[in-house]
């Protein structure tokens, strides 16, 4: 299986409930650093901003933004720094309810032909300051 190390560096935000909170409508920017173990000829490295639901209901998912941050050969053993910048939408806010959880995340997706795409997710909280946040975030989720 193809292995890529991911390291997220997300700017701004505010520490809340074990995660990082961002205001709706604000700018979310930073870099994701990829370190492939071997040379990888990829169709593209996509960075997405998306939300999905978890809980009893069937899953809903929506991509709020997507950029193709890289195309070509990722050199093995070398760091590839990919910047990203998104404007966060006004809704839905991060939410933890009885049946429904709404989770926001950044996703880095290395698109490899005829192989399983290496991916990494970085959870964020989308909610204005002063609003209640009960969404649980697992720090382990931040690693690739």
Partner 1 sequence: MGRGCLILFGAVWILFSCIFLFGPLGILLAGSKPNWMTVLPSALFSLPFIAVGLAIIAYAVLPWISAMRVSKPAITVSSASLSLGDSFTIAYSQMFKSRTEVKGVKFSLLQRETVVYQSGDSVATAHHDETAAEFEYPGQRYEAGDSLVFSRNMEIPRDWMHSFRSTHNSVTWLLQAKVNIAGWPDYREDFEIQVLPSLAR
Residue 116 carries which DSSP code? Answer: P
C-beta of 93: minimal distance to partner 1 in Å? 6
Q: Which is nearer to partner 1, 23 or 111 (CB)?
A: 23
Nearer to partner 1, 37 or 134 (CB): 134
Angstrom distances, CA of residue 37 to CA of 78, 91, 104, 107, 118: 8, 38, 29, 20, 12
Residues of this chain that interact with partner 1 (CB under 8 A) are: 24, 53, 55-60, 62, 90-93, 95, 97-100, 102, 128, 130-132
Phi-psi domain of 15 (left: phi exceeds 0; alpha: psi -120 through 50; beta: other): beta
Q: Min. distance of Cβ 50 from partner 1 in angstroms?
A: 13
Residue 86's nearest CA partner among 3, 2, 14, 10 is 10
Nearer to partner 1, 27 or 90 (CB): 90
Nearest distance, CB of residue 127 and partner 1, angstroms = 9
Burial of 120 (0-12, 13-18, 19+ CB in 10 A): buried
Closer residue to partner 1, CB minimum distance, 1 or 99: 99
């Amino acid at each position: 299986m193809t292995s890529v190390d991911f390291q997220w560096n997300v700017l701004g935000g505010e520490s809340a409930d074990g995660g990082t909170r961002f205001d709706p409508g604000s700018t979310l920017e930073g870099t994701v650093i990829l370190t492939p173990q071997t040379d990888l000829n990829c169709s593209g490295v996509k960075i997405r901003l998306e939300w999905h639901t978890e809980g009893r209901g069937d899953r809903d998912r929506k991509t709020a933004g997507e950029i193709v941050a890289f195309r070509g050969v990722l050199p093995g053993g070398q760091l590839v720094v990919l910047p990203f910048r998104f404007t966060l939408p006004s809704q839905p806010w991060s939410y933890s309810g009885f049946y429904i959880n709404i989770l926001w995340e950044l996703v880095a997706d290395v698109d490899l032909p005829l192989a399983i795409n290496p991916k990494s997710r970085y959870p964020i909280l989308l909610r204005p300051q002063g609003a209640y946040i009960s969404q649980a975030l697992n720090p382990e989720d931040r690693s690739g």
